[in-house]
Chain A
Amino acid sequence: MPLDATIDPATHKFALVGTRPLRPDGIDKVTGRARFGADASAPGMLVGKILRSPHAHARIRAIDTSKAAKLPGVKAIVTRADFKEGDPGLRDVLHNVMARDKALYDGHAVAAVAATSAAVARKALKLIRVDYEILPHVTDVDEAMKPGAPVLHADMITANVEPAPKKASNIASRCEFGHGDPEIGFKQADLVIARSFKTEATHQGYIEPHACLASVGSDGQGELWVCTQGHYMVRNQCASLLGMDVSKLRVTASEIGGGFGGKTTVFIEPVALALSRKAGRPVKLVMSREEVFRASGPTSSASMDVKIGVTKDGRITAGTAEIRFQGGAFAGSPVEFGAMSAFACYDLEHVKTVGYDVVTNRPKQAAYRAPGAPMVAFAVESVLDELAKKIGMDPIELRLKNAAKEGTRSSYGPKYKRIGLIECLEAARRHPHYKAPLGPNQGRGIAAGFWFNFGGQTCVSLNVNVDGTVALAVGTPDIGGSRASMCLIAAEELGIGYEQVRAIVADTSSLGYNDISEGSRVTFSTGLAVIQAARDATAKLCARAAKTWGIAPDAVVWEKGYAKPASPNAGSFAPLSLADIAKTAGSTGGPIAGHCEVNAEGAGVSFAVHMTDAEVDRETGRVEIKRYTVVQDAGKAIHPSYVEGQYQGGAAQGIGWAINEEYVYGRDGRLQNPGFLDYRIPVASDLPMIDTVIVETPNPGHPYGVRGVGETSIVPPLAAVANAVSAAAGVRLSELPMAPPRVLAAIDAAASRRS
């Protein structure tokens, strides 16, 4: 649905879009009334618990559940045999939900029980005997690629390589993007820098652990209450894994305490349903924080080599990157998106990126905001920072000189439509932060970032109530304030007040299919569907007014909340408000509702520029972020407060990724820090106020010009912080996280090189 011809987003005066009303779910959340996943309960409910492998890699010879089954209070035990095999698209999902022949990582589920209490369930887990044959393991991406590394899957032959390898390995696939000939480009350069980088796996760190309540009746019909980013996905996958008809499973999404991509697949939901089906009673399953770390998806860890050449006057002549991502025990790391986005900010004649998707004995990675892009931006933007310093050019000037714009051929192929990178860079350069003086031991870093965004399948119903208020049913879980934005859009279209619209996230039996809330798609695609549903409703409202007045429907227009005759020729009638028409709907044709079912395309790509000041304690290596500014293109900000919230949230998570967070594995392949005490995410006292600048370069693919904003904000921080820390420490930091021991070691190594 293209940009409205009647709306110039730069000058159009919206009545409500762009204002900052309170969110409709705010009071519930601050008073504790909101119901999250673990708040669901049902009469006769059992407690589910999952037995997990203590080994990083082990063959499962046998599982003996007989003693556990005899324990009083145990009502059901399930293993892999209780799930339906056969859907090739869900093979790895099922294998991750419940191990079969092999446990592939520390924490891999092998069996589950449902019992009358948590104490009985825990006791039952201890009575299950699993006969393991421990196998060699590998958790590091570079080690996993070496010949002789323990191979996880005997049938894994590297895809996209001709001729195909004859032997199995841990390299699931190879990908390559780019154009031109980098060797020619490097010859044209006055300076070429090549560096290697590593990042560790980080968890999305959502505060609410995975939780669900499943209830399957003796008639085979089931219900599931769950915290998820996509309850339609949960319904479809669970129905397939349990051999149920989709229509027999109704899924309701709870409020969600964070997802960030980590709640875009199933982990415990099929297990809870299988237990409930077997026990004939509702089963509640809630992950502990330790289980969240050990067995839900962190992001990939990465190992990368980047090489960039520039001329003395700052023109990039060529860029190459080889990117190696481990995505846990199954294929599917986001290495393709990493390879595509590595140089997407820049207009390059010669560019090539190669990626390898590698499996290791770690939990299967899950999406994490702009999956794959933050790590490669760290590598590319670090080299650009070094190049700018070496040729004596301002780092924003270097990026402006090479920035992609409308018509630029992207490094992954297609030419860009209208984009806002240059506007972001210029806004960053104008910002007072960029010229503010730095204190002792402080450094400033800047970095740019890119993300694709997409639309997807979306279904919305807008029901006009008898009193002229409106009930809006959407199918995309609200993970960032989207109900407020949807109410604003509906009210804008209908010409009524924001408070007169109430949005709910409907269950899977109430609306047609909706894709997951991911890919920065909700404000774009659900917003687009709300616009269409509202216009569908106003057309019907006009028709009712026409019937009342006895004139043709096309002789009525909808303006600012009223049906009016289109012209004096249509007759002279007092305008009818939405409430007037709603009040008499029963006698003019029945209920009035607007609907939209769409597969939204046209999501515009998005760019951001971040800058930060870091202070390094040269005695301890501790990093403190002193100031942080996010500049990002939103296309059109529907509710600016929640756009800013996305910017700040992405920056905060990126700062944690840069300086603190990492999965630490012992020599035994077991995760050493599965808790928030040892896996330290930033808290409010660790962060400065994160300043934000909303740039609005309209997306030509949306009626109001909206672009997704949820993911791009996590792309630049790793690099921006690394550039700031490197400047403050006087040495280039090329591995994340930049925890004190690593920073101190880099400072000491640089000092010993100088002496």
Chain B
Amino acid sequence: MALVKLSGTLRSAAGGLTELEIDAPNIHQLLLKLAEQHPKLKPVLDRGVSVAVDGEIYRDDRFRPLPAGSEVFILPRMAGG
């Protein structure tokens, strides 16, 4: 079970939730379940996001396993100059 913490950007689309628990083996499954449970989040997720798992930011690695009890943040997709 991962604890997903939602930034203010995402909270309104998730009905005001600040965090929720999701049982998923990896980032890919977690994002699918998140969009399934909160359909208003889907457009944001579809635009492209990075996912932080226990402090490590993953830009692309959707099959990164989620350790039990991991803390997850959904962030904008990293870009740079």
A→B interface (CB under 8 Å): 159-162, 174-178, 204, 260-262, 264, 334, 336-337, 340, 352, 354, 367-371, 412-417, 451-457, 518-521, 599, 601-603, 701, 710-711
- CB-CB under 8 A from A520, the residues of chain B are 80
Write out the residue numbers on chain B whose beta carbons fall within 8 Å of the beta carbon of A519: 78-81
- Assess the B80–A601 pair: CB atoms within 8 A: no
B52 interface residue, CB < 8 Å from A?
yes
Q: Is B13 an interface residue (CB 8 A)?
A: yes
Known: A340-B76, A413-B73, A414-B55. A176 touches B9 (CB 8 A): yes
Closest to B10 in A: A160
8 interchain pairs (CB within 8 A)? A174-B9, A176-B9, A334-B79, A413-B7, A414-B54, A414-B75, A452-B78, A457-B60
Residues from chain B with Cβ under 8 Å of A178 in the complex: 7-8
Q: Contact between A599 and B52 (Cβ–Cβ < 8 Å)?
A: no
Q: Cβ of A337 and Cβ of B76 under 8 Å apart?
A: yes
Known A412-B75, A454-B59, A602-B56; judge A371-B80 contact (CB<8 A). Answer: yes
Rounded to whole Å, the gap between the CB of A229 and the closest CB of chain B is 9
Per a CB cutoff under 8 Å, which of A159, A336, A601, A711 touches B81?
Answer: A711
Q: Are A337 and B79 interface neighbours, CB within 8 A?
A: yes
Is B5 in contact with chain A by the CB < 8 A criterion?
A: yes
Q: Interface centre among B59, B73, B79, B80, by most A CB within 10 Å?
A: B80
Once the chains bind, are A177 and B44 in contact (CB under 8 Å)? no
CB of B23 closer than 8 Å to a CB of A: no
Q: Are A414 and B57 in contact (CB under 8 A)?
A: yes
**Which bucket holds chain B's interface residue count?**
20 to 34
Contact A176 B75 (CB under 8 A): no
Return the chain B residue nearest A408 by Cβ: B55
Q: Name A417's closest neighbour in chain B (CB-CB).
A: B55
Cα distance, A370 to B60, chains bound together (Å): 19
**Is the contact region of chain A dominated by helix, strand, or loop, or is it mixed?**
loop
Residues of A within 8 A of B71 (CB): 414-415
Chain B interface secondary structure, helix, strand, loop or mixed? mixed
Closest Cβ of chain B to A210, distance in Å, is 16
Residues of B within 8 A of A369 (CB): 81
What residues on B are CB-neighbors of A260 within 8 Å?
81
Contact yes or no, B81 A414, CB < 8 A: no
Q: Which of A162, A334, A354, A456 contacts B13 (CB 8 A)?
A: A162
Most chain A CB within a 10 A radius of its CB, from B8, B40, B54, B73 = B8
CA distance in complex: A340, B79 (Å) = 13
Given contacts A412-B75, A454-B59, contact A161 B12 (CB under 8 A): yes
A90–B57 Cα distance when bound, in Å, is 26
Check B59–A455 contact: CB distance below 8 A.
Answer: yes
Cβ B78 vs Cβ A177 within 8 A: no
In the bound complex, residues from chain A placing their C-beta under 8 Å from that of B50 are 454
Q: Which 6 A-B pairs have the closest CB atoms?
A: A261-B81, A176-B8, A519-B80, A367-B81, A414-B52, A162-B12
Residues of B55-78 contacting chain A, CB below 8 A: 55-61, 64, 71, 73, 75-76, 78
List 16 additional A-B contacts (Cβ < 8 Å) besides A178-B7, A417-B56, A519-B81: A159-B43, A159-B44, A162-B13, A175-B9, A204-B81, A352-B8, A354-B8, A367-B80, A367-B81, A414-B57, A415-B54, A454-B50, A519-B80, A601-B56, A601-B59, A711-B80
Residues of A close to B73: CB separation below 8 A:
412-414
A371-B79, A521-B80, A711-B80 known; A177-B9 Cβ under 8 A: yes
Distance of A414 Cα from B5 Cα, bound (Å): 9
The CA-CA distance from A368 to B81 in the complex, in Å, is: 5
The distance in angstroms between the C-alpha atoms of A496 and B53, with both chains bound, is 39
A726 smallest CB distance to B (angstroms): 27
0/1 interface trace, chain B 5-43, chain A, CB 8 Å (1 if under) = 101111111000000000000000000000000001001
Q: Which of A161, A370, A416, A701 contacts B80 (CB 8 A)?
A: A370
Q: Which residues from chain A contact B76 at a C-beta distance below 8 Å? A: 175, 336-337, 340
Nearest-neighbour CB distance to chain A for B3, whole angstroms, equals 12
> Are B79 and A518 in contact, CB atoms less than 8 angstroms apart?
yes
Considering only CB atoms, which chain B residue lies closest to A175 in the complex?
Answer: B9
Q: Is the CB of B8 within 8 A of A413?
A: no
CA distance A258 to B6 in the complex (A): 38
Known contacts A160-B13, A414-B55, A601-B56; A261/B7 CB under 8 A:
no
Q: Which residue of B lies closest to A455 (CB)?
A: B59
Nearest CB in chain B: distance from A202 CB, A: 12
Chain A residues, CB < 8 A from B57: 414, 452, 454, 601, 603
In the assembled complex, the Cα of A710 lies from the Cα of B11 at a distance in Å of: 33
- Minimum CB distance partner of B72 in chain A: A414
The verdict on A452 contacting B80 (CB below 8 Å), with A162-B12, A175-B9, A413-B5 known, is yes
How far does the Cβ of A490 sit from chain B's closest Cβ, in whole Å? 25
Complex CA distance for A412 and B13, rounded to whole angstroms: 18
Provide the bound-state CA to CA distance between A521 and B8, in Å. Answer: 28
Q: When chains A and B are docked, how far (Å) is the Cα of A457 from the Cα of B59?
A: 10
Residue from A175, A416, A711 with most neighbouring chain B CB atoms (10 Å): A175
Q: How far is the CA of A417 from the CA of B78 in the complex (A)?
A: 17
> B81, A413: Cβ atoms under 8 Å?
no
Q: How far is the CB of B63 from chain A (nearest CB, A)?
A: 10
Nearest CB in chain A to that of B47: its residue = A159
Instruction: List chain B residues, Cβ under 8 A from A354.
Output: 8
Cβ-defined contact, B81 with A371, below 8 A: yes
| Chain B residues within an 8 Å CB radius of A455 | 59
**B43 — which chain A residues lie within 8 A by C-beta?**
159
Q: If A413-B75, A417-B56, A452-B80 touch, does A601 touch B8 (CB 8 Å cutoff)?
A: no
Q: Which residue on B lies nearest to A368, using beta carbons?
A: B81
Most buried by A among B7, B50, B54, B61: B7
Report Cα–Cα, A264/B81, bound state, in Å: 7
Nearest opposing residue in chain B for A204, CB measure: B81
Q: B64: shortest Cβ distance to chain A, in Å?
A: 8
B8 x A177 contact (CB < 8 A): yes
Of chain A, the residue at the smallest CB distance from B64 is: A601
Task: Give the distance to chain B from A280, nearest Cβ to Cβ, in Å.
Answer: 37
Q: Which residue of A lies closest to B81 (CB)?
A: A261
What chain A residues lie within 8 Å of B56 (beta carbons)? 414, 417, 601-602, 701
Q: Across the interface, which residues of A come within 8 angstroms of B12, CB to CB? A: 160-162
With A371-B81, A519-B80 given, is the CB distance from A416 to B55 under 8 Å? yes
Q: A454-B59, A602-B56 are in contact. Are A261 and B80 (CB under 8 A)?
A: yes
Report the minimal beta-carbon distance from A455 to chain B, rounded to whole angstroms.
7
Q: Which of A162, A369, A602, A711 has the most CB of B within 10 A?
A: A162
Name the distance in Å between B47's Cβ and chain A's nearest Cβ: 9
Q: How far is the CA of A337 from the CA of B52 in the complex (A)?
A: 15
List the B residue with the shortest CB-CB distance to A353: B8
Q: Which residues of B are found within 8 Å of A414, using beta-carbon distances?
A: 52, 54-57, 71, 73, 75
A369 to B80, CA, bound (A): 7
* Beta-carbon contact of A518 and B81 below 8 Å: yes
Q: Are B80 and A453 touching (Cβ within 8 A)?
A: yes
Q: How far is the CB of B61 from chain A (nearest CB, A)?
A: 5
Give bound CA distance, A161 to B8, whole Å: 10
Listed residue (B10, B52, B61, B81) with the most chain A CB atoms within 10 angstroms of its CB: B81
In whole angstroms, what is the CA distance A405 to B79 when docked?
Answer: 23
Which A residue sits closest to B53, measured CB to CB?
A414
CB-based contact A454/B78 at 8 Å = yes
Q: How far is the CA of A162 from the CA of B41 in the complex (A)?
A: 12
- Return A308 CB to nearest CB of chain B, in Å: 19
Assess the A599–B60 pair: CB atoms within 8 A: yes
Q: B44 to chain A: which residues have CB within 8 Å? A: 159-160
What residue of chain B has the Cβ atom nearest to residue A336's Cβ? B76
- Report how far A352 CA is from B8 CA in the complex, Å: 9
